[in-house]
Structure 1
């Protein structure tokens, strides 16, 4: 998955509400690209992974999928039912058609708000009904996993989670005691769009004589400490009115409360849970590490007078600040780059979220909790049929959807230079799924709350969640342990 989804950057419609602490992400459906202009070169033909899967005749069965359309996740599965010239529509349409022909089925997709998806699976399982075979949701679904509404995916016949089209980091973050009820991967390109990253304004860097951070990234020197140092003197009161205002002044760093606190924390290696060889998540607040990370976050966002948006009604202005040439750096996600920066006049580059220090082995990307997760209802009448079709949808996306997105959209349209394409490879290489965050356990937004309140210390705030957080996680673990492998 990581090799094929190396750099998904699509557009994302603005969510109407702040989704828990992560805010919505997804790709626009209106992206138009001419394949003839992609500049791609012919490659050695390989046997598609989809073709390697066994053909089975399901005699015209209608495979019913319901997806969360609140954030426009339709691009993962829904099409116009024909080729339209839209690159995403046409590629997903071809993938769907290939899967339909492989199994002699008809794929039928329906969109609804996520709350209705969750209510539907609860009511249908309890009633013994099966209105849908497969669900595309978000991490709110995690709350239902220990209640027995989802099929245990390691036990789903026809599904092979060791294949590269399934996100291994996602599996690790969402499994408990080697039981898994939610997954993600190539089957959901919108999921990759929720990966955190940063952009920097090249024009401002040139004018100030500041070196582009690409080499720092390559040398492992791009750290949260370095970002705090670089942005220390970049915010300027250009009109001399004694205030820092959008449109009047220039900022070292621009971000918004539902992205930056999470991206910087997880990018610097912060975690609220640990796992042992038994795959059991345990709440573990490493106060020394967390306090140190927060110290630099506070410097970057508060001390250095960044443009930090805390008002939902002003959400878009964090990107407007950067788009209008008003910030050197901007914390963003892959989904929002094309959505908010497509018409930016200044040139910009894409880089990963900084490490904590040079000893940190890899650059890490927080996965926004609004990202796509998929599940199968526990009362699936034909688990093997569901498993085979889902596996084929994922393999087909791995074959065609992901490479097309990577080659056509990322490298020629959004990244603006080859360096950024290289950087985005790093961004999607190591994505982070913290079980504490995925399960939305009380206190998961502690960094956000502290920064909004401009609190210099994080210890007492986080300590207040230790007991309740541990109890909540233990309850989840206990529920998983009492459930059968296949519901």
Structure 2
């Protein structure tokens, strides 16, 4: 199938996080547990849907019961986006099951899930490919592992040239990821509506409505809509929302109230993103260039870390200037009603389902009003479908891949986003609007996904060390990152 050429001159996606993925991986909940018990089918709450008007351009073929093998990470919480063994009455689980069944019946294939541990999923896949074995039709690794383990060693097919029926111009493929991940016209890793994790692993913010009412503050919804939900306003509220509840003169996570609770792999790794900056951007020739350090990003990191290290914030996993380790669960502070704001991933909303206080969704604030959108990172815990170069029939694989993504766009994503999130967890209509804004601001930073460690975890490194040393960390790592980029570009033909 013919594909349009992609412009090489585009801003790519956005910042940081990292060990986040390692850190959050164990925290993600199977979305089948996140759906309202009163909603049993997406179709039951849907009438005419314009998503069905957009058709995939695929031939009608029958593969005679071919076993389509998918290598996935274990445990089951990493398998739920792609595979479901049976109908359970839970909306998202059933949407995945019905999606797979429809594709299976349409093309005469049977889906087989091959489970491997999070670490073994890398070695199992690479061993088979390096041995020339056609062992898997698709591999679903951790987002960063997709690049480091599979793309860079040259073990994957190219989405642009090798998968003829994948139409990247369709709405079910994420265009920000496409723009970011393509280098020198080559695209080995992609994502989109084939997996709802590209939504579930998006960073957002929750606020406690009761505590807002106690403060006499207006909910920030109008600020968001007017483009005025910024760091300064967020900081003002966080400071106002901090209280020494037991009056002992000390701020302790077990007893007291905080303006913000978050983890070291969440908000600290999203600061660059909120400025509209990038760890790595593309220059005018389309080549990747390190852009993390500017006067603006340094100021933003300094501003945020002054807040993080104050008594107005609880930063789980960090160390304060005095070297004290912070190990209390940041989510518990918020779910217990002792946090004005919580910053984390959409998956973590599941941990708040039994919370007594009412809460609302917000995008992570812009650094200032000059930002065009409320940009936010998509954590690398999401899945990036990889197609081994040893696959015996790339055309067949591309047909099944495109069909899964298209059906995901029509049924699974609406089930997760519009039903599970907007009906189960949003307690007002404004929060549903906020989710639309959060979704619109999702970004994929090649510096975060391509580089893995090094610069992509600057915020994490600062939080763990309890230091405010953004400039020196960047300076110490730039040379090594430049060499890493040169090595990566060899895979992409330069």
TM-score, normalised via structure 1 length: 0.89
1:183 aligns with 2:185: no
1: CA distance, partners of 2:51 / 2:488:
43
Q: 1:316 to 1:43 in 2, by over 3 A?
A: farther
Q: 1:441 to 1:307 in 2, by over 3 A?
A: closer
Post-superposition offset of 1:371: 1.6
The alignment partner of 2:172 has SS state of: coil
Q: 1:83-112 deviations in whole A, cap 9, x for unaligned?
A: 232222221111111111111111111221
Is contact 1:224-1:268 (8 Å) kept? no
Q: 1:336-376 deviations in whole A, cap 9, x for unaligned?
A: 011x1000000001000111111110011111122211110
Matches within 5 A, 1:247-396: 247-310=254-317, 317-338=329-350, 340-396=351-407
The alignment partner of 2:33 has SS state of: coil
Is contact 1:65-1:135 (8 Å) kept? yes
Which residue number in structure 1 is paired with residue 33 of structure 2? 30
The alignment partner of 1:140 has SS state of: helix
Is contact 2:72-2:139 (8 Å) kept? yes
1:207 aligns with 2:214: yes
Q: 1:204 to 1:31 in 2, by over 3 A?
A: closer
1:84 aligns with 2:88: yes
Is contact 1:69-1:114 (8 Å) kept? yes
2: CA distance, partners of 1:457 / 1:18:
20
1: CA distance, partners of 2:101 / 2:55:
12
Q: 1:37 to 1:21 in 2, by over 3 A?
A: closer
Is contact 2:259-2:340 (8 Å) kept? yes
Post-superposition offset of 1:137: 1.2
Q: 1:46 to 1:330 in 2, by over 3 A?
A: closer
Post-superposition offset of 1:18: 6.5
Which residue number in structure 1 is paired with residue 10 of structure 2? none
Q: 1:383-416 deviations in whole A, cap 9, x for unaligned?
A: 0000010000000111111122233222221011
2: CA distance, partners of 1:68 / 1:323:
29
Q: 1:278-333 deviations in whole A, cap 9, x for unaligned?
A: 43211123331221111221132113531111169976710100011111111111
Which residue number in structure 1 is paired with residue 235 of structure 2? 228
Which residue number in structure 2 is paired with residue 58 of structure 1? 63
Q: 1:61 to 1:265 in 2, by over 3 A?
A: same
Higher mean C-alpha displacement, 144-153 vs 44-53: 44-53
2: CA distance, partners of 1:334 / 1:289:
28
2: CA distance, partners of 1:51 / 1:180:
20
Q: 1:18 to 1:42 in 2, by over 3 A?
A: closer
Which residue number in structure 1 is paired with residue 12 of structure 2? none
Is contact 1:50-1:392 (8 Å) kept? no
Higher mean C-alpha displacement, 198-207 vs 396-405: 396-405
Which residue number in structure 2 is paired with residue 68 of structure 1? 73
Which residue number in structure 2 is paired with residue 10 of structure 1? none
Post-superposition offset of 1:167: 0.9
Q: 1:47 to 1:412 in 2, by over 3 A?
A: closer
The alignment partner of 1:43 has SS state of: coil
1: CA distance, partners of 2:51 / 2:225:
31
1:149 aligns with 2:155: yes
Q: 1:44 to 1:108 in 2, by over 3 A?
A: closer
2: CA distance, partners of 1:278 / 1:197:
33
2: CA distance, partners of 1:449 / 1:22:
16
Post-superposition offset of 1:31: 4.3
2: CA distance, partners of 1:104 / 1:298:
55
Post-superposition offset of 1:183: 1.1
2: CA distance, partners of 1:304 / 1:204:
17
TM-score, normalised via structure 2 length: 0.88
Post-superposition offset of 1:461: 1.8
The alignment partner of 1:240 has SS state of: coil
2: CA distance, partners of 1:195 / 1:188:
13
Post-superposition offset of 1:276: 3.1
Q: 1:44 to 1:350 in 2, by over 3 A?
A: closer
The alignment partner of 1:75 has SS state of: coil
1: CA distance, partners of 2:369 / 2:181:
28
Matches within 5 A, 1:16-27: 19-20=21-22, 23-24=25-26, 26-27=28-29
1:406 aligns with 2:417: yes
2: CA distance, partners of 1:37 / 1:129:
40
Which residue number in structure 2 is paired with residue 442 of structure 1? 454
Is contact 1:233-1:304 (8 Å) kept? no
Is contact 1:178-1:279 (8 Å) kept? no
Post-superposition offset of 1:35: 3.3
2: CA distance, partners of 1:71 / 1:94:
18
Matches within 5 A, 1:114-125: 114-125=118-129
Q: 1:108-130 deviations in whole A, cap 9, x for unaligned?
A: 11221232222122211221111
The alignment partner of 1:147 has SS state of: coil
